[in-house]
Structure 1
Amino acid sequence: MRNVVPVSATESAPPPGKAAAQGAGPRPVAGRDPRVQWVLALAVIVVGILTIRPMGFSGRGLAVAVLFVINSAVLLVRRLPESKVPNHLALVWLSLGIVAAAALIGVSRSGTGYLFAFFLAGHIGYRLEAKPALVLAGICSLLCGGVLYFGLGPGHHLLPWAVGLATGAPVLGGIVNRSQRRAVLAVIAAAESAERVARAEAQTAVLTERSRIARDVHDVLAHSLAGINMQLELADALIDTGDLEKVREANNKAHGLVKESLKQAQWTVHALREDSLPLLESLTAMLESSGHRDVLTVTGTVREVPAQVTQNLLRIAQEALTNAARHAPGGDVGVELTFAASSTTLRICNRPATREVNAGVGSGMGLIGMRERVALLGGTVTAGPVTEGPDQGGWQVEAVIPG
């Protein structure tokens, strides 16, 4: 057994418990696959059984056999997950392991007992932090080197004492592998964190879109359906009175509300489209289709605004015009669009009604929807009666969106 070149063994495979906790990690490669580590450990044990002598049931042979069993157990226990072996217990276990490895070198007359020390030193670097790992590996080198240098065993003459000193060298490979494993786990954790953030953002976007669709459905259907229902109930009640003229009038109003609802639905679809027209053109077309011509006043330098701003301002204008037609029929409507350096302002003002008002009670959700739309864009909206000026007695809605 002279001039035997020691085999360095290091640990680099993540413990099964850690790998499971981290999810699917990188595909195992040679030296990192737990199966490879098991094969190497069993190979060392088998080679030890075949080469380490004396080994028996009495005297020195019994001592060698006991130490061989202890070293084999230590070699196999290293495969336990870190989560099942506390750090302080691992330190004690590894310390006893290097003592047993040095003792096996000293007691045995021949064989490959030194391989246990090499493999254990590699695992020390992988399992412990760098500072205690280096200290424990240094002790391993001193113990094994001292056994051979001072000739404490019968087989000291077969191995140079430098081999004993080299038993602690694999700790460096273990430290490197530990650092690599931590880096891989950090990358996996960062990727999982990024994935969680992306999922949260996607869920938030979905919820925001649902809220926007809910507002649009309300704006299009709530008022109109409530008005249609009221007129139909009125017509049903008037049938019993025999007043066909009023029945016909209620029926006509219901038809008018249906037409208005269809028009609003068309504008809702238009506002939801990604390729909608610029704000000024869209607002002009909306006013003309609603029967309000030449009521738009534009102030400032016209510029393009984001699609989301356009969609929300159009919905606010639609809601305001619908409320004006319902609560102030016949009243003049004025719309002002102002492009300032740091904001875009939409103002809709209607004068008092000139015809009979029969709008019923609203749900109160229209103004809430306006505020939600503007709040999403960081703006403000105000709505209330006009108390002075030529529009006194009317109603005004003003939305200001920054940017």
Structure 2
Amino acid sequence: MTPRRLPVSLLDAALVAVSLLDVWAHFVAGEPLRMACALAAAFALLLRRRMPFFTFLLTLPAVLLSDAVFAALSALYTLGSLSRRRVLLAVCVLAFTVSDITSWPSPNFDPSNTSTLITLGYTAATAGAAVFLGQLVQTRHDLSLRIAEISEARDHQRLLTDQTVLARERAQLAREMHDVVAHQVSLIAVRAGALQVGTRDAEAKEAAATIRRLSVQTLDELRHMVSVLRASGGRPTELTPQPSLADLRQLVEGSGIEAELQTDLPDGLPPTVQRAIYRTVQEALTNVRKHAPGAGAAVRMCHEDGAVRVTVTNTAPTRPALPLPSAHYGLIGLHQRAALLGGTVTSGPTADGGYELRLELPAECTP
């Protein structure tokens, strides 16, 4: 867990307070000039972030005239953390060292004295430590920014890689749908058309017409799906036209089974809810046609208590179902679609041998 940093204003106030304590510790009643310079140096720290070099210059007289040096060391640290000019920093360290070992206005500097050289080294080391600490903070900040940039670049690269893999998979899926599925559905439509023209049985003719119409609609949806899959990497593309509640009656009437539609859904339902209802009814009628030959179906929809309820119930089949290939993804897809919208899908057999599928979605109408 990253520790919380102190507010900038609070930190500046703390530095000024410590500097004032340093001035008070070295207070000399008979030397107002020294105290004035020391006080000016303490309050100059309020400018250290905006004008670090100027702040250091304001604190330098206090080092030259008094023993209150905390403000100048703080200014040196700030300058070291913000400036990248090594020569300037070295000059500032030298200026602090010379000012600190010089007792102005009566200089007492003897290079031949060992204690003077020791004091000089100690003062230079103190000033250099402040600068080095500032440089260390600057380097840490630069490293943090660099790490953040590397992490962002890595995430971007991972996203590009994922998009490339997804685009390749979508392109392969589009080819499979175009080369295999669309071809097979086209053959179904052609054979159904030939049966419709060649048969004299009215019931067979009507069944062939239904098969041909559904095959053509399936081909149209496949073309749109293939175009969506091939548009990977571009702007998001939606299937057009998108089904809505206005298309439900046509869906029920063209389902190829005896189906009854009862609905009192209001206008203004969200498009996502309308598509979910349409796809649920479409999947339910498809399952009736596949698994319950000869059965009738009833589709009932209502809106109450801020929720949409859709029920598709079919009677028991009148003849055995043909073995058809199925991936069993239809109901799974309906469950996932409903869950994304905050709803539920339940299904199960009825007491009379039929089957019932129920969809419930939270939905508010928009004016």
Question: Which interval holds the TM-score relative to the shorter structure?
Answer: 0.3 to 0.5
Q: Which has the higher contact order (CA 8 A, sep 6+)?
A: 1
Please report the TM-score for the alignment, with normalisation by the length of structure 1. 0.41
Structure 2-normalised TM-score?
A: 0.44
